[in-house]
Amino acid sequence: MPPRLAIPKAFFEKSDVWGARACVRLLGVPLVLITSLPLLASISPWLALAAIAPLGIAISKTTLLVHEAVHGHLFRTPWLNGLIGRVGGWWTAVDFVAFDALHRQHHARVGAEGDPQRLDYAVLHGATRAQLAWHLLRPLIGWNVRHMATLVRQRMRMKRAPWVALGEVSGLVTVQAGFALLATAGGQTPWLALIFPTAAATVGLFMSQIRGFCEHVPMPGEAPGRRLRSHTSNPVERQFLHYMNYNYHGEHHRFPRVPSRNLPALSRWLEQQGQPMERSASYLATLTARWRAAPTGARA
């Protein structure tokens, strides 16, 4: 274990401007795409279907807003973080309260038994290239929707006042019903209501799994416990995989109380202290390295 560091207080400062900008970007882009579906369908149904990919990417990135709210990093005011976290959850069909509890378990037990995110990366010891490809690509056929049961089970274990639970469910239903009305131009083109859930259940979960895999997957021969990896950002991957400095994932796990806006500065400071985090050149570089390290034949 590296020696304990005294983190400068400046790294813990939050910014309402940062939070507001993130909300506009991460809530606005999916909303614009959903609203544009009737226009795209009027030009060609194939254009509306093609929107599944960018909409799924946008949904995946909107879950990062929920993540930031769980940590209380978006705004200086705690209740505002909770409100936006719930709104982000309604946007992405993620139960904010259940996700909050599960994400805390992830931070406490990353890589170990009891880590709810191990499904993304910890079942691949000795996996062949074929098995690795199946693991990474199967979300595109909706395979990972079954993992949503983890959120449902977590919610069922939590004791909440009935009126609180009703309010949270009502928010989700209202937002998703509003999306359906926007996507279908008020019900004029009903099949367009399927675009959003299809995007979320396929491309959205695929992008989220790619992130989790790259951040935590051990290479063959490495111990699976507490594997943390950051990635150098580039203009291409930033459009698909991350936002709000989420690529500084190792720094985030080591110092989860530091708001994401300050992670680049924290990373530079850690290097100056002689304690840099492991950093991959890109998400693609991590995927390529893990692929090359995997055996081509049957698992021993």
Each residue of 64-115: pLDDT tens digit? 999 999 999 999 999 999 999 999 999 998 888 888 888 998 888 887 778 8
The Cα–Cα gap between 283 and 214 comes to 6
Instruction: Look at residue 24 in the predicted model and tell me its pLDDT.
Output: 96
| Confidence label for 2 from pLDDT (cuts 50, 70 and 90) | low
The Cα–Cα gap between 125 and 108 comes to 22
Q: Which two tokens stand for residue 297?
A: 């034949």
Residue owning tokens 């993130």: 22
At 119-159, the pLDDT tens digits run 777 677 778 899 999 999 999 999 988 877 787 777 777 77
Residue 230 near residue 267 (C-beta atoms within 8 A): yes
pTM score, whole prediction: 0.91
> Identity (one letter) of the amino acid at 252?
H
At 211-268, the pLDDT tens digits run 999 998 888 777 666 688 999 999 999 999 999 999 999 999 999 999 999 999 999 9
Instruction: Look at residue 161 in the predicted model and tell me its pLDDT.
Output: 64
> Identity (one letter) of the amino acid at 95?
D
Average pLDDT over every residue of 195-218: 94
As to burial, measured by CB atoms within 10 angstroms (0-12 exposed, 13-18 middle, 19+ buried), residue 244 is buried
Beta bridge partners, 280, equal 231
In the predicted model, is pLDDT for residue 1 greater than 60?
A: no
Phi, psi (5° rounding) for residue 127?
-65, 140
b/e map 209-231, b = 16+ CB within 10 Å: bbbbbbbbbbeeeeebeebbbbb
Instruction: Look at residue 227 in the predicted model and tell me its pLDDT.
Output: 80
Instruction: Look at residue 126 in the predicted model and tell me its pLDDT.
Output: 77
Instruction: Look at residue 119 in the predicted model and tell me its pLDDT.
Output: 74
In this structure, the dihedral spanned by the alpha carbons of residues 30, 238, 264 and 227, taken in order and rounded to 10 degrees, is 100
CA 1 to chain centre: 28
Lowest model confidence (mean pLDDT) among 37-41, 100-104, 199-203: 100-104
